[in-house]
Amino acid sequence: MEAVVRTSGRIYPVQLDDQEWRARLAPAEYAVLRKGGTERPFTGEYTDDHTEGVYSCRACGSELFRSTEKFDSHCGWPSFFAPLAQDRVEYLSDGSAGMTRTEVRCANCGSHLGHVFEGEGYDTPTDQRYCINSISIRRGPATPPVAGTGTGPAGQE
């Protein structure tokens, strides 16, 4: 099946052409991140990962998710109930699989991360499941909150 890459019209801070992405990413990474593919369930390295840390976009390095919002969905892919911050991700309506889903992309480079589902009844604060391909992200050490960014533990919003 030929994946159709849709554009949102957004101008991403990180802009590389197709050849540059191919040179920068492994073929399997390229297929998911740049072509909207999906890794096979229960095969990704972070599916059952509980290590504390921050997950960054494997294409551009933008920090996207934290281990503190990761939960066990048993769906076969790493699942988060919220992104690190809403402005780190972009949402696109995706009707490609015969149903309407919401695609999640990196807001910094436009790479495909996965999909978000809601109202499934998971016992999480948002009842949302960000179903993210392991191959789209890379875990790094947890970074201490930087003063003035609004992401510190004191923030209520």
Beta carbon of residue 110, minimum distance to Zn ion (angstroms, whole number): 7
Q: Are 133 and 32 in contact (CB under 8 A)?
A: yes
In angstroms, the CA 103 to CA 116 distance is: 6
Instruction: Give the residue with the Cβ less far from Zn ion, 54 or 60.
Output: 60
Minimum gap (Å) between residue 109 Cβ and Zn ion: 3
Task: Give the residue with the Cβ less far from Zn ion, 59 or 135.
Answer: 59
Q: Tell the smallest beta-carbon distance from residue 122 to Zn ion (Å).
A: 26
Beta carbons of 89 and 83 less than 8 angstroms apart:
yes
Whose Cβ is closer to Zn ion: residue 85's or residue 124's? 85
Contact 13, 109 (CB under 8 A): yes
Per the residue annotation, which of 57, 106, 109, 131 is the catalytic one?
131
What residues make contact with Zn ion under the rule CB under 5 A? 57, 59-60, 62, 106, 108-109, 111
Task: Confirm whether 106 is a catalytic residue.
Answer: no
Element (DSSP H or E) covering residue 27: helix 27-33
The single-letter code of the amino acid at 75 is C
Active site residues: 131
